[in-house]
Chain A
Amino acid sequence: MSRLSAVAKKGLGDPALAELVVIRASQLNHCAFCLDMHLALAREHGVSEKQLDLLDAWEEAGDVYDERERAALALTEAVTVLTDGFVPDEVYERAAAHFDDTRLAHLIGLVVAINNWNRVMVGRRVAPGEYTP
């Protein structure tokens, strides 16, 4: 599973965006350990406090996130919340407009991978606060 995350993240080639995506999925899945860990990693990668603070309301946050980040976040939400529906064409196409097939495939892989971790950590109730970068 570590390898899955690593190859997906590498293929996306944008560590700061990767952390935003991973944190958003972890918010939706309520994974405390994952949030604790990836908030620390995001700060390490230079993601701004403002981007981290407003992530839960990114759609309403104006220009805090650029169009590429917004497309990635919209896709992240759709891929994460499958039980309420599918991945809408407009969400997929918006992402496809900002990422070529290779980067998009790895972005999807990254969202899938963090969903894996969210499930394992919530399933086993791994406590937050133990992670140090």
Chain B
Amino acid sequence: MTNGDDSTTTVTTPEYAPEQPARMRWAKHAPEVYKTMVRLDAAAQQGLDPTLVELVRLRASQLNHCAFCLDMHTKDALAAGESVQRIVQLAAWEESKHFYTEKELAAIELTEAVTVLTDGFVPDEVYERAAAHFEEAELAQLIATITVINAWNRFGVTTRAVPGHYQVGDFG
């Protein structure tokens, strides 16, 4: 602690909670599963707008509470030129639609429906709105992309992948 004039010159570092270690390095224990995931990931995003892909990945990772995935995809999105505002507003996109295109909104809405299956199905209106903005092949890629980020989210949360250390380009 400081007092008097010292208080204006002392830099205090906030005491954050300790970092929790990962539970398991799953890629080491299931290397074939990991390799298959990497291939699936690459195949799923083909033909899709990279900006849209990162929005989809971020929204699914928010819903699934995957800290590592949020760290990684926020950094990737920013590096690719995404705005801080669109990333911040994504959690409340229904109230901030004017930051996104109609096509992005349809994709984000589909992302939510496909991610939260346990509360219900994928409503016709959500599917049809997406189908109106994406042609059949592109829609199939989009569904695959949503599915694959859900898969990474599950690995990340279950094995408690540690957020904060990712640097853009870490995984090639």
Q: Is there contact, CB below 8 Å, between B64 and A83?
A: yes
Q: Kindly identify which residue among A1, A3, A11, A79 contacts B30, using a CB–CB cutoff of 8 Å.
A: A11
Size class of the B contact interface (CB-based, 8 Å): 35 or more
Segment from B1-9, B10-18, B21-29, B92-100 that makes contact with A: B21-29
Q: Is there contact, CB below 8 Å, between B121 and A122?
A: yes
Q: What is the CA–CA distance of A106 and B117 in the complex, to the nearest angstrom? A: 23
* B contact residues around A123 at 8 Å (CB): 110, 113-114, 122, 127, 143, 146-147
**Minimal beta-carbon separation of B156 from chain A (angstroms):** 10
Segment from A42-50, A53-61, A63-71, A97-105 that makes contact with B: A97-105
* B contact residues around A120 at 8 Å (CB): 143-144, 147
Interface members, chain B 117-171 (any A CB < 8 Å) = 117-122, 127, 143-144, 146-148, 150-151, 153-155, 157-160
Q: Is there contact, CB below 8 Å, between B150 and A79?
A: no
Q: Is there contact, CB below 8 Å, between A105 and B143?
A: no
Main secondary structure of the interface of A (DSSP, over half): helix
Q: Is there contact, CB below 8 Å, between A3 and B121?
A: no
Size class of the A contact interface (CB-based, 8 Å): 35 or more
Q: What is the CA–CA distance of A79 and B24 in the complex, to the nearest angstrom? A: 15
Q: What is the CA–CA distance of A115 and B150 in the complex, to the nearest angstrom? A: 8
Q: Kindly identify which residue among A4, A87, A106, A118 contacts B158, using a CB–CB cutoff of 8 Å.
A: A87
Q: Is B74 an interface residue (CB 8 A)?
A: no
Q: What is the CA–CA distance of A122 and B148 in the complex, to the nearest angstrom? A: 15
Q: Kindly identify which residue among A11, A28, A115 contacts B154, using a CB–CB cutoff of 8 Å.
A: A115
Segment from B31-39, B48-56, B79-87 that makes contact with A: B31-39
* A contact residues around B32 at 8 Å (CB): 7, 11
| Interface flags, A93-132, vs B, CB<8A=1, else 0 | 0001000011011101101110110111011110000000
Q: Is there contact, CB below 8 Å, between B158 and A78?
A: yes
Q: Is A8 an interface residue (CB 8 A)?
A: yes
Taking A30-B120, A123-B114, A123-B122 as known contacts, 16 extra A-B pairs with beta carbons closer than 8 A to each other, sorted by chain A number, are A7-B30, A8-B33, A28-B118, A30-B118, A80-B118, A83-B118, A85-B65, A105-B29, A116-B151, A119-B115, A119-B147, A120-B147, A122-B117, A123-B110, A123-B127, A123-B143
Q: List residues of A whose CB falls within 8 A of some B CB.
A: 1, 3-4, 7-8, 11, 28-31, 75, 78-87, 92, 96, 101-102, 104-106, 108-109, 111-113, 115-116, 118-120, 122-125
Q: List residues of B whose CB falls within 8 A of some A CB.
A: 23-24, 26, 29-30, 32-33, 36-37, 40, 63-66, 110, 113-122, 127, 143-144, 146-148, 150-151, 153-155, 157-160
